[in-house]
A and B are shown apart, each in its own frame.
Chain A
Amino acid sequence: MSSLGQLPIWASKPCIMGIDEAGRGPVLGPMVYGCLYCARSYQKILSTLQFADSKTLKEQKREELFEELKTNKSIGWAVDVIDPRDLSAKMLKKNKVNLNEISHNSAIGLVRKTLDLGVLLTEVYVDTVGDPEKYRVKLSEIFPAIKFVVTKKADSLYPVVSGASIVAKVTRDRALRDWVLDETAENMQRNFGSGYPGDPETKAWLDHHKHTLFGFPTLVRFSWGTCNAYSKDSVEVVWESDASEEDESNGRASKRQMKLTNIGFTGVKTKSEDIESSGKGRCKFFQARKLELLSQF
């Protein structure tokens, strides 16, 4: 989602951009990256628009400011909404992608998209994720023509980042408010709270929506440590990818075997307690296709 239909004239003059995120900490809902940009010559007016770090503003004020900036023809903006399903999936992939990398990629995507629109970005201000200097170098290598300022609390230091934080925060709040749950079970409720792990309303919602087999609705970020506290009574699930991971690290092979015998895949406990037979003596055709003739079961 972004603001520009037709490229305004100011976009071909040197422009500044702010990037900020909302919903990085919560255990549920999307994470939103937002950006706001304008001509460098507009900076002075921008600082009079009362943009402040979105966290210090009341929700209603944020909504008002967002509506205002949407109608402001001297400002452009865009958001990247990262679905909680994608966050969980990426962080639980075989080759895990951590949250910092997801965040970096989202910010990079926003810069690239804005450049592709034809906006002449010369300076970009970013609230840091991880080490600021490393992040700055990473961004500068990808976009050598842009000067990057990466710093903590950028959202309260630079109005253009404050503006971006409002875009991100309002979008995140609305996305959560209008969230359509994938799950169709009858007891589903929408009182998610803020989504922060410490929020009593969020805690109550998690407690009410945990499921022994499926874990949680897909609104929840399964990769968050918070989820573990709710998985006490849940059914154990062993993933092929995790099993092979354990297999690779030394000394854990026996643990794996023990685990797999508990699974109860096989109706009869055979002597080899592995999930798959070694395939020794079987024709290659069958070995390669994991086919085995069972005469005893």
Chain B
Amino acid sequence: MERSNNGISGTIVLNGNLPPEKVVDLTGKVHQLPCCIKFNGPSDVLHYFKPKSTGVIVDGLSVEEAHFRGRKLQGTTVPIPQGYSGFVLGKKMSDEKRKRSEEDSSCWEMKAKFQNITLWNHDSLPSENDASLRAFHLFSVAAALHRPVSVEDLEAASIDQELEQ
């Protein structure tokens, strides 16, 4: 563990020693709510939280409706783009370590994986301008930034430059 003035550097172990078929798949079960529920742990979600499809489509997003604590939620389920995955992380701890301290561990491991997520708004329709959806723009930007540059690209760029001059 490395300490600095700014905090603690952490590590994330994504595959661990689990074979892929043993990884818990939460696809279709991950919801982002517009509230903070001050509770960690299991609950009867399937019995109480009942999203329904509305048939309405906004910005190409299929709108779902659900209620939580009396509030109406409108949301949409979006796939995580190919090549990416959603992960649920938890503190990695051996039993021995757990006894010693829970707080100090900065070693995280994957507890589950998911390929889509349902993003909920409190009584506003989902839209492509929602911050969570806009965060997905990073994927195409990252792809463009990290795409290997070919000889043709360089030639095209230098021609453009010459034309501008």
Contact = CB atoms under 8 A, between A and B. Distances in A.
A289 B7 contact: no
B35 A295 contact: no
A186 to B, nearest CB: 8
Interface residues of B, number: 39
Interface in A88-123: 88-89, 91-94
A136 interface: no
B56 interface: no
A237 B71 CA distance: 12
A289 B137 contact: yes
Contacts of B36: 237-238, 260, 263, 265
A296 interface: yes
Interface in B1-39: 4, 6-10, 34-39
A23 to B, nearest CB: 17
A239 B44 contact: no
A296 B35 contact: no
Contact of B69 (A182, A222, A260, A263): A222
A152 to B, nearest CB: 30
A89 B72 contact: yes
A241 B135 CA distance: 21
A185 B50 CA distance: 12
Given A94-B122, A288-B134, A215 B70 contact: yes
Contacts of A185: 44, 47-48
B7 A268 contact: yes
B43 interface: yes
B77 interface: no
Interface string A57-82: 00000000000000000000000000
A217 B68 CA distance: 10
A203 interface: no
A290 B6 CA distance: 21
Residue of B8, B44, B47, B106 most packed against chain A (CB within 10 A): B47
Contacts of A223: 70
A278 interface: no
B138 interface: yes
B141 to A, nearest CB: 7
Q: How large is the interface on A (under 10, 10 to 19, 20 to 34, 35 or more residues)?
A: 35 or more
A211 interface: yes
A236 interface: yes
Given A94-B123, A223-B70, A241 B39 contact: no
Given A185-B44, A239-B35, A240-B35, A89 B71 contact: yes
A214 B49 contact: yes
Residue of B9, B40, B71 most packed against chain A (CB within 10 A): B71
A226 interface: no
A231 B48 CA distance: 17
Given A89-B70, A223-B70, A296-B4, A241 B34 contact: yes
Contacts of A183: 47-48, 50
Interface in A204-239: 211-215, 217-218, 220-223, 235-239
Contacts of A270: 7
Interface string A232-252: 000111111100000000000
A291 interface: yes
5 contacts: A220-B70, A238-B35, A239-B71, A290-B135, A296-B7
Given A92-B71, A238-B36, A290-B132, 15 more contacts: A89-B71, A184-B47, A212-B39, A213-B37, A218-B70, A222-B70, A235-B38, A238-B35, A239-B71, A260-B36, A289-B131, A289-B134, A295-B9, A296-B9, A297-B8
Interface of A: 85-86, 88-89, 91-94, 182-185, 211-215, 217-218, 220-223, 235-241, 260, 262-265, 267-268, 270, 285, 288-291, 295-297
By Cβ-Cβ distance, the 7 closest A-B pairs, closest first, are A222-B70, A88-B70, A89-B72, A296-B7, A185-B47, A214-B48, A235-B39
